[in-house]
A and B are shown apart, each in its own frame.
Chain A
Amino acid sequence: MDPADFDTALLDPTRLSIVSLLVGVEWAEFGWVRESVGMSPSALSKQVSTLETRGYVEVKKGYVGKRPRTWLALTPTGRAALERHVAALHRVVEESQRAAERRDT
């Protein structure tokens, strides 16, 4: 298993949760993501900034009436990174299972 297969940004469980939430939607409100991952706004904001810096998440700000809103969306880069990361995790599991089977036989 090549450690390079894993995405260092997605090794953090909260960042992985955020990206996993966003993979199923075209966009999501910041508040909805915050509720879903159970984080404080500032903690989520920090993690989103990290993902935004790496080009994994796109952040859009706007107003609905007079209320400010923030929407998050996964970029194609973020989606590709998640797919690679998940594939690497799958390979770890498969290799472990094969090793266990070899030991048993």
Chain B
Amino acid sequence: MFGVAIFAELAARDFFGDGVRSGISLAVTALIVAYAVMLRTPRGGALLGRPTRVRRSEISPRFARVAQMTIVAVVLLGLVGAPFLPDHLFPYAGTVAGAVLGATLILFGRSLQRGLNSLAMRGDRKDGMNGLAHGSR
């Protein structure tokens, strides 16, 4: 779903002009918020094909810090770098970028997620429960 959303967001300007971009961005933001809210409930998680929700305390603090810093860095790069980018690198650049990013997410999204999950679970627990939790999928 996010692969298609990213493709739609990046390709929209090439096909419909700059006018639709804010609408598409709003729709993608709404989709991300809905996804995050659904993941918090068992029913929503089941609808999204998630049989579990990992306990926050099981996520390695180091991993959480690195993930937060990466997100902030990407957002800052987007905000600071966007004005310096030429409007069109080449014809249909947005469509090509959207297709590459979207296809990457569709094809490797699951394995990327699994890899991130296993990294996130490698915590250094100090309460004697080390190695007990292996509930992410």
Report whether chain A binds chain B.
yes
Q: Which of B22-69 contact A (CB under 8 A)?
A: 42-43, 45-47, 51-55, 58
Determine the distance from Cα of A86 to Cα of B52 in the docked complex, in whole angstroms. 23
Interface residue count on the A side (C-beta < 8 Å): 23
Q: Determine whether the beta carbon of B129 is less than 8 Å from that of A21.
A: no
Could you say which of A24, A64, A82, A86 has the most chain B C-beta atoms within 10 Å of its C-beta?
Answer: A24
Determine the distance from Cα of A23 to Cα of B127 in the docked complex, in whole angstroms. 12
- Within 8 Å CB of A24, what residues of B? 54-55, 58, 121, 132-136
- Within 8 Å CB of B135, what residues of A? 21-25, 28, 36
Q: How many interface residues does chain B have, given as a range?
A: 20 to 34
- Within 8 Å CB of B47, what residues of A? 64
Fill in one digit per residue for A11-37: 1 if any B CB lies within 8 Å of its CB, else 0: 000000000111111111101100010
Q: Determine whether the beta carbon of B46 is less than 8 Å from that of A29.
A: yes
Question: Lowest 8 A-B CB distances belong to which pairs?
Answer: A24-B133, A32-B51, A24-B135, A25-B135, A29-B51, A28-B52, A64-B46, A25-B52
B residues contacting A by CB (< 8 A) are 42-43, 45-47, 51-55, 58, 121, 127-129, 132-137
A residues contacting B by CB (< 8 A) are 20-29, 31-32, 36, 60, 62, 64, 69, 71, 82-83, 86-87, 90
